[in-house]
Amino acid sequence: MILVLIGYMGSGKSTIGKALAKSLSYRFLDLDDYISEQESASVSEIFKTKGEIYFRKKEMTHLKAILNAEEDTVLALGGGTPCYGNNMSIITESDNVKSFYLKLSIPNLVTRLSKEKDHRPLISHLQTKEDLTEFIGKHLFERSAYYSEADHVLVTDHKTPQEIIEAIETQLI
């Protein structure tokens, strides 16, 4: 079985994914890290040198390959992955895949991401909390239709990682 974690940047996909994989004795993959490893370049380097279209094509290719693997895996997607090409259809139509949208409110995303701004190229240029709030709000508005196609939507505000993991594991029974 492959468990796919979907959500906005800062929603906890990697943190929850690593702990969930450990709990289930699955392997953990972060799609962006996997692409970086396969391409021998960081995501931002790929965007700069080869462009977003190249990246999105590689993203889809690697996503398909991972979803077709036989190995039990927890896969954390990049925040934009579900929104490009037919990636969400690929996920939802795969027999051995269950997807989970880790839904975090805008205020909680702002709180988390304001601490990580310097490490996130997409938001590093935003100067104020208001700018960050507006940016996230617009992005979530555009992306929420894709995210909501996940098999399960988990509201994660005010939940510990363990509570989120238990909620996911309950859906697997």
**143 labelled as ligand-binding?**
yes
Contact 88, 132 (CB under 8 A): no
Residue 12 marked in a binding site: yes
- Is 79 annotated as ligand-binding? yes
Annotation-wise, does 15 bind a ligand? yes
Spell out the residues 6+ positions from residue 65 whose beta carbon is closer than 8 angstroms to its own.
Answer: none
How many whole angstroms separate alpha carbon 90 and alpha carbon 156? 25
Please list the ranges in the chain whose pLDDT falls under 70: none
CATH H-level, domain 2-171: superfamily? P-loop containing nucleotide triphosphate hydrolases (3.40.50.300)
Please give the pLDDT value at position 123. 80
In 102-128, alpha helices (H): 106-116
**CB burial string 18-27: b at 16+ within 10 A, e below:** ebbbeebebe
Q: For the sheet containing 97-103, what is the strand order?
A: 27-30, 73-76, 2-6, 97-103, 152-155
Name the pTM for this structure.
0.93
State how far the Cα of 142 lies from the Cα of 32, in Å rounded to an integer.
21
Give the per-residue pLDDT at 149.
96
Consult the annotation and say whether 11 binds a ligand: yes
pLDDT at 52: 83
Q: Would the annotation count 157 as a binding residue?
A: no
Looking at residue 116, its pLDDT comes to: 78
Joined together, the tokens standing for residue 37 give 């490893």
